[in-house]
Amino acid sequence: MADNSIEIKDEDFSLVKIDDKVTEKIDTPKYSYWKSVAKVFFSNKITIAMFILIVIILLMSFIQPLFSGYNMMNVSKINNFGARYNWPSAKYWFGTDADGKSLFDAIWAGARTSISIGVIASLITTIIGVIVGAFWGNSKRFDRLMLEIYNVFSNVPTLLIIIVLSYTFGNGFWNLIFAMTVTTWLGTAYFIRVQVMMRRDREYNIASKTLGTPTQRMIFRNILPYLTSVIVTQLSQLLPSFISYEVFLSFLGVGLSSNVPSLGRLISQYSPYMTSYPYLFWLPVLVLALITVSLYIVGQNLADASDPRTHM
């Protein structure tokens, strides 16, 4: 038989030096939570369109009034019949009203007020609700007390409470925000309480409690970071609802002072012109619809994107 053995020589091989840095590398790709959130969020074309729309609306609402100098109480052009009731045109983009004021300026000044109220009220409600709800779900004594308080206020319509408090404290920007947030945080707190109770008895939390980890540290390190998508979802629902509350109350003439423009006040003021000069009524309604719909869609998609289960 033929000898098929291969002769191996030492010069055919060379020693490779050990690289400590290479040996510490992990083959799996790096994971960044917020980069993954942005990737998922901007992968949806509708989300991108709504995000661009809300950015344009925010820029117009907070920058345009600075240059327009709009004053709701200004009636200097009331006797200038050429400036009154002009339909939308190249000169007056949204037309003018009975006082000769530009509806374009009025809408963006009103949008600034409505959005500001919605954002501030939503942040106050969310922050208080999340903090109280987190401790509520971890304490049995606190749970019994808060459940009684929640059962009382949850059986009273939120809008009724806001209207009563608005009449009690009078009209004003901060009075309206107080009326909106004084009880609405209870709903957020109860929702967070349920989410916390679902997670507090998991193995890693029981282990942390056994090792003597303080309750405050467990809440802010072990529980709340896992509720990011839940909190964003709650915030995305609160923001349009508070804007709707402001619009409804302003339509009734409650909440804001008479010299403060808002979308609700514009809709209320121009509702008699729904048939004679429909642009005065429907353009503020259209801007309000664009704000609420775009905020809701962006908020919901951001909540979905912040859920790690959607990250690939």
Per-residue pLDDT, averaged over 213-226, amounts to 71
Query: What DSSP line would sit under 133-156, residue for residue?
Result: HHHHTT-HHHHHHHHHHHHHHHTS
Q: What percent of the chain has pLDDT over 70?
A: 84
- Gyration radius (Cα) of the chain, Å: 29
- Dump pLDDT digits (tens) for 257-285: 778 888 888 888 888 888 888 888 888 88
- pLDDT beyond 60 at 34: yes
Q: How far apart are CA 138 and CA 151, in angstroms?
A: 19
H-helix or E-strand spanning residue 282: helix 278-305
Which has the closest alpha carbon to 103: 289, 221, 263?
263
Average pLDDT of every residue of the chain: 80
- pLDDT beyond 70 at 248: yes
- pLDDT computed for residue 120 by the predictor: 92
Coil, strand or helix at 96:
strand
Residue type, 221: R
- pLDDT computed for residue 4 by the predictor: 60
- Dump pLDDT digits (tens) for 98-134: 878 888 888 998 888 888 988 899 999 999 988 888 8
Model pTM?
A: 0.79
- pLDDT computed for residue 13 by the predictor: 65
For the chain, give the longest Cα–Cα distance.
Answer: 120
- pLDDT computed for residue 148 by the predictor: 85
Q: What percent of the chain has pLDDT over 90?
A: 4
- Dump pLDDT digits (tens) for 57-105: 999 888 888 887 777 777 777 777 777 787 888 888 888 888 788 888 8
Q: 69: alpha, beta or left, given left = phi > 0 and alpha = psi -120 to 50?
A: left
CA 281 to chain centre: 27
305: confidence class by pLDDT, cuts 50, 70, 90: confident
- pLDDT beyond 60 at 16: yes
| 295 Cβ contact partners less than 8 Å away, ≥ 6 residues apart | 54, 236, 239, 240, 243
Backbone phi and psi for residue 299, each to the nearest 5 degrees, phi listed first: -65, -45
Angle at 135 between CA 148 and CA 215, to 5 degrees: 145
